Each structure stands twice: as C-alpha cells, then as structure tokens.
A and B are shown apart, each in its own frame.
Chain A
Amino acid sequence: MTAADRTATRRTRPGDDIDWAAPADDDLSGSGGAAGPPGGPRPPRRRLFGDRIGSVEVLAFLLIGLVIFREPLANLISDPRLQTWTTVFVSVMVQAMPFLVFGVVLSAVIAVFVPRSFWAKALPKHPALAVPVASAAGVVLPGCECGSVPIAGSLIRRGVAPAAALAFLLAAPAINPIVLVATAVAFPNNPEMVVGRGVASLLVAVVMGWLWLRLGRTDWIRLPHRPDLDDLSRARAFWAAVRHDIMHAGGFLVIGAMAAASINVLVPERWLQTLADNPVLSILALAVLAVLLSICSEADAFVAASLSQFSLTSRLVFLVVGPMVDLKLVSMQAGTFGRRFAYRFAPATFLIAVVVAVAVGTVLL
C-alpha cells in the first residue's frame, strides 16, 4: 500500500477514527522505535481540498454540533437507565483520571529520565529472579491498575525483561499499601482476608512472570510506536511521552469504562443471588463479575464486603482477579502491548488467579 493509498483510505472515513485494533496490525518496524524512515526527505505534502480538513477541523465541527444539539441529546439520556449508565461511565473516568495521569507521568519519567543502566543494576540479572523482585516492588506503587499499564510498557521499552515488567504490572495494583488497608477496613472482622489477598496476588504475579519466561514469546508484545524520545531534548521528550500515553491509554480506558458502565446497568444484582448457594458456581460467578465490573482495586474490597451472600473464598477470588484482569485493563493492555498479547495473557492470568485464590482461600479462610 502506498502512502497515497493510505491517505485515501484514511480520508474516506474521518469520523471512524476509533480503530483501536490498529496498533496490533502495525508492522513490527513501528514498535522498535529505531526503525524510522531512512533519513530521506518526506514525500511532498499534498494540498488538495481534502487535506485541508484535518482532525482539528473535524474536532471543531463535532464540538459545535454537540453544543447546538445539546438539548435533544440531554433529552435522549433522560431515561433512568441511560442516565445511570452516564453517571457510572463519567465517574469511572473521573476516578481513574488522577491515577492514569500520575501513572503516565511516572512512566514518562522512567522513559526519559531514568537511564537504561539503572534497571540492569536494580533488578537481578537472571529473569527468573527478577520476576519475584519486580512483583514485590509493586508494594511501593500506591495506585490502581490504570496507572500500572503504561508504567509496565515503559519498563519493557527501557530494557526490563518482559516477564519482570508483567509481574510488576499484575502485582502493583493488588498488593500496594492503600489497597491492603482498604481491604482491612472493608473486612474488619476478617483480617485473614488481607493476608489472603496479599499472598494470593503476589503468588499469581510471580507464577505469571515465570510462565511468561517459559511460554511467552516476545513477538506477541507489540508496543505502539511511541515518539522516538532519544533524539529530543528532555523536556520535549517528556511531554511527547505524556501526550502520547494519555491519548493512548486514556482512549482504551474510555472503552473499558463504557463496558463497565454497561455491565453495571445491565446485570442486576438479583441474578447473583441464585448463584451464591453453590460453592463452585459462586466462585466462578464472582471471578467473572470481577472481570466485568472493572472496579478500581482500591474500591473492590468494599464491594466484595457487600456481597455478603457469597463465601469468603469466592470473595477472595473476586479480590485477586479484579485488579489483574478486567474489561478496562484488557482493553488498555490490548492497546499498550498489542492484541495478540492481551488475548493470551488475560485468560491465562484469569485462570491462574482463580486457581491460586481458591488454594489460598482453602488454606487461610
């Protein structure tokens, strides 16, 4: 496909820019960062009529249209169902925004200001040892899962073994102090839930890291092409990385938040009631619910506490699965690491998380 063809295809669908699968379809040269064009001059820019309508113009028309049609739009969502959907969607976004922004800023700091050699020194040489160290390092990152995806992406770019970065990705949202304290507050009479959550989450992260070492293939991971930061001044590189990651991870967060809001509105809680009495079904039900609800890891303990008709073990499964696999995370992982990665990694994590949580629950609870 020539450049002109691509331009033509793109031009024909200016509004249909939500091609969130695109990064995975890129050829690999896009992910390496070093594979820029061979230094030659770019093809001359064509100033045809169509080229004048860029994304800024599309954006302007879109916003003007929305302001004009504000009234009919507001009437459209006066239905309580849609209104609740909008409230939940907006609140997931508002809640996640600080964590996303801080995670992105931290990941830009990693990308721009922390030299590559730091990670070689900080982590054990052997990847099998680096995995548990990276998992345990998750303790120091007080945030929820939205922030840890860009950070893990940055770590891989900076030469950290993917197994270690992925272990960190899984561990950080689940075992950081804020989450454990929230769990203790939500279960004041069951302190063993806190221990169970910490132990099980750490185990899952380590097992997944080692599993990646044995079975994982680097070519499943396709980091989206990010500005080649090495050639820029540090300040420019920093802001370019921040902009890119917010647009990218944030866009996938929107997809996840929409999915979570839909589940929140469409799946009434009374469906769960019938499942609570069967020990096996209750575990599966809460594992799936954790994936679908996509609640922030700092809040999920309170939701688990309120699901009091379920056994403690099944609620532990809910707490272990939720921060590691959920709709918004899978969406963000597919965006950051590529679809081929996410469609393998997420189901494997789900399976291991359920098995480990049930085992820990059987021993501890």
Chain B
Amino acid sequence: MNKQAQGVVLLLLGGAVVRASVTDMYLRYVKEALQPFLIVAGLLLIAAAVMTLWHDLRRRSSPAPAVGVHAGHGHAVDDGPGDADDGHGHAHHEPRVGWLLILPVLGLLLVAPPALGSYAVAQAGTALSSEQASSDYPPLPDGDPAEISVLDYASRAIFDEGRSLDGRNVRLTGFVTDGPDGEPMLARIVLSCCAADGRPIKVGMDGSAPTGLPADTWIEVVGRYSDRIGTDPVNGASIPYLAVESWQQIDAPRQQYE
C-alpha cells in the first residue's frame, strides 16, 4: 500500500469516526462519554491523512529534487508513488496490514450495524450480580408512574426485595425479547465501555403483558412490583417480574443502552 492509498484510508477512517460521533450513531457502539475523544481522534486521523497526502504531493510536484532526496535519505519515508518501485523492499511489507482498516470504515459508512438486540440477550445471562447490590436504595423518583431504568428496577426487586418499589407504579423502557419459556420478556442492555461488554438485564412480565410483538420491538411498560422471581437458564441468576398494567409501543430511544 503506497502512501497515497494510506492517506485515503486514513481520511476515510477519520471521516467515518467523525461522522459517527457527531451524529448519534456512535451511541450504538460506545458510551456517550467517549464522544469528545472520538471527535478528537477522528480529526487527528484526518490531519494525519492530509499531512500524508500533502507531503506526498509536494514530493511529486518537484520530481527532480525528490530523486536526490531519495538517494540521500534512503527509502525511508518515500516509498514512491507506486508499489512497483520496490527497489529495496522492507518498507512495503508492513503497511499491507493497513488494508484491513478499510473494514471498520465499511462497517461505519456502509453497513452501520444496529445496536445489540434480542440475539445478544439470548446469548448472555442477565447481569444482575450481587457485587452491585447496595445496602440501601433511595426512594423512587417522584411521579406516577415513576420513570426508572430496567437495571434499577431489577436491582430493587431482587436485592431490596421490592421494598422501595412497594405501592408505586413504575415505567420501564426496553425492548421485547423471547424468554426461555417462550413468554416475551423486557430487556435492556447495559454497557460499561463498548458493545463488546454489553450485558443484558432481563425483566419478566406478568399481568397484561404484551403479546404478539416481534422481538426487538421497543416498548414502555407501566406496572407494579411483582414478587415472582424466575431464573435465567444461561447463568442461573434471578430474573424479577413486573406486574404490567399497560404498555405501548415506542420508537427506539436515542440511547439504546443503559
């Protein structure tokens, strides 16, 4: 891969990163906090591309001195305009792995895969671990129903045995996934860094649970604490239930992860 091509790949990569991070697309893959770093990294990539192309262009536009530079400085930086001038080899071997950098560019610009969904949920066990149990849970936020996250509901239901949920209506937002027994469940994926460490939180639905929705449909459910507790066959962890009173289908939220 010669320097021009490297410059183009760097430009595409930087452009793809900047584009993903100024739109909300990056939220499908990483946490919101990474956005400024992504923008800076993307701009640095673009700068590296521009400088590469600029230096290459300047060298070409003055061909006669360039030969002199070649001779004096060796093949170091100037691998020449084409792969063909392989007078002394080594400089060309290694950047070849750089061709692979086209793959993330394609992933971001052409494919733009969706956020993790029900397939990933079925693969992994619900991520409620006793390490994260805290000894006291503050009262629910105001409002009827109170808006809380799926993770918050699940930890209150399991580790606080529903005490802080008692007598309150809560509203949870998540997507539908098929539970082990074929019943629909409510799920949300929790990220700590990127989608590679995404772990699902699963909540079973009792009462007037939605039926007939395809997996990955986003819903808002309003309901109350139910003392029914299921078990996730994947990792043996407990799955709390929510006694659903009403639900409605919604568009996928901006932040699909919690």
Is A22 an interface position by the 8 A CB rule? Answer: yes
- Partner among A52, A84, A254, A260 whose Cβ is within 8 Å of the Cβ of B100: A254
Q: What's the Cα separation between A309 and B92 when bound, in Å?
A: 49
Q: Find out whether the CB atom of A94 lies under 8 angstroms from the CB atom of B234.
A: no
Q: Tell me the minimal C-beta distance from B164 to chain A in angstroms.
A: 18
Complex CA–CA separation, A244 to B125 (angstroms):
41
Q: Inside 8 A of A254's CB, which chain B residues have their CB?
A: 97, 100-101, 103-104
Structural contact, A90 and B29, CB atoms closer than 8 A: yes
Asked whether any CB of chain A lies closer than 8 Å to the CB of B40, the reply is yes
Question: Could you tell me the distance in whole angstroms from the C-beta of A312 to the nearest C-beta in chain B?
Answer: 9
Q: How far is the CA of A71 from the CA of B197 in the complex (A)?
A: 29
CA distance A330 to B17 in the complex (A): 25
> Chain B 1-39, CB within 8 Å of chain A: the 1/0 string?
111111111100100010010000010111000100110
Which residues of B have CB within 8 Å of A305?
Answer: 129, 131-132
Q: Let me know if A115 is at the binding interface, CB within 8 A.
A: no
Q: Are B98 and A247 in contact (CB under 8 A)?
A: yes
Interface string of A43-75 (1 = CB under 8 A from B): 101100011101110110011001100100110
Residue A299 interfacial (CB < 8 Å): yes
Q: Is the CB of B17 within 8 A of A36?
A: no
Q: Is A134 an interface residue (CB 8 A)?
A: no
Q: CA separation between A17 and B107, bound complex, in Å?
A: 20
> Which residues of the other chain, A, contact B80 by a CB distance below 8 angstroms?
45
Cα A92 to Cα B92 in complex, Å, equals 27
Which residue of B70, B77, B82, B104 is within 8 Å of A93 (Cβ)? B104
The yes or no answer to B140 lying at the interface (CB within 8 A) is no
Instruction: Say yes or no: B76 contacts A189, CB within 8 Å.
Output: no
Within 8 A of A (CB), among B64-79: 67, 70-77
By a beta-carbon cutoff of 8 Å, the part of chain A in contact with chain B is 3, 6-7, 10-11, 17-20, 22-23, 25-27, 29-30, 36-37, 39-43, 45-46, 50-52, 54-56, 58-59, 62-63, 66-67, 70, 73-74, 77, 80-81, 83-84, 86-95, 97-98, 100-102, 105, 182, 186-190, 224-225, 227-229, 231-232, 235-236, 239-240, 242-244, 246-248, 250-252, 254-255, 257-258, 260-261, 264-265, 268-270, 272-273, 293-296, 298-303, 305-309, 335
A300 to B233, CA, bound (A): 23
* Chain B residues in 8 Å Cβ range of A240: 52, 55, 77
CA gap between A102 and B34 in the complex, in Å: 13
List of A residues within 8 angstroms of B9 by Cβ: 59, 247
Contact of A54 among B10, B38, B84 (CB under 8 A): B84
A-B contact pairs, 16 of them (CB 8 A): A22-B93, A30-B91, A30-B93, A40-B71, A41-B67, A42-B88, A189-B133, A190-B131, A231-B76, A240-B55, A240-B77, A242-B48, A250-B98, A268-B123, A269-B125, A273-B235
Nearest residue in B to A185 (C-beta to C-beta)? B192
Given A42-B71, A56-B8, A101-B44, A66 and B94 contact (CB-CB distance below 8 Å): no
Closest 4 CB pairs of A and B: A36-B74, A299-B193, A251-B97, A30-B90
Question: What CA separation (Å) do A51 and B103 show in the bound complex?
Answer: 26
Output the least CB separation between A227 and chain B (Å).
Answer: 4
CA distance A211 to B20 in the complex (A): 44
CB of A239 within 8 A of CB of B110, answer no
A270-B235 CB under 8 A given contacts A90-B113, A188-B132, A246-B48: yes
Quick check: B87 and A3 within 8 Å, CB to CB? yes
Judged by a CB distance under 8 angstroms, whether B229 is at the interface is no
* CB-based contact B45/A101 at 8 Å: yes
Residue of A nearest to B102 (CB): A62
- Complex contacts, A298 vs chain B, CB 8 Å: 193
On whether the beta carbons of B196 and A306 are closer than 8 Å, the reply is: no
B124 interface residue, CB < 8 Å from A? Answer: yes
Distance A182 CA – B33 CA, assembled complex (angstroms): 14
Determine if B5 and A58 form an interchain contact, defined as CB atoms under 8 angstroms apart. yes
* B237 located at the interface, meaning its Cβ lies under 8 Å from any Cβ of chain A in the complex: yes
CB of B83 closer than 8 Å to a CB of A: yes
Write the nearest CB–CB distance from B24 to chain A, whole angstroms.
Answer: 13
Question: Which of B114-122, B165-173, B245-253 touches A?
Answer: B114-122
Chain A residues with CB below 8 A from B97, complex form? 18-20, 247-248, 251-252, 254-255, 335
Flag if B195 contacts A88 (CB, 8 Å): yes
- Bound together, the chains give a CA A20 to CA B246 distance in angstroms of 56
Across the two chains, which residue of chain B brings its CB closest to A54? B82
Contacting A92 at CB < 8 Å: which of B90, B131, B196? B196
Closest partner residue, chain B, to A26 (CB atom): B90
> In whole angstroms, what is the CA distance A246 to B70 when docked?
24
Q: What chain B residues lie within 8 Å of A52 (beta carbons)?
A: 82
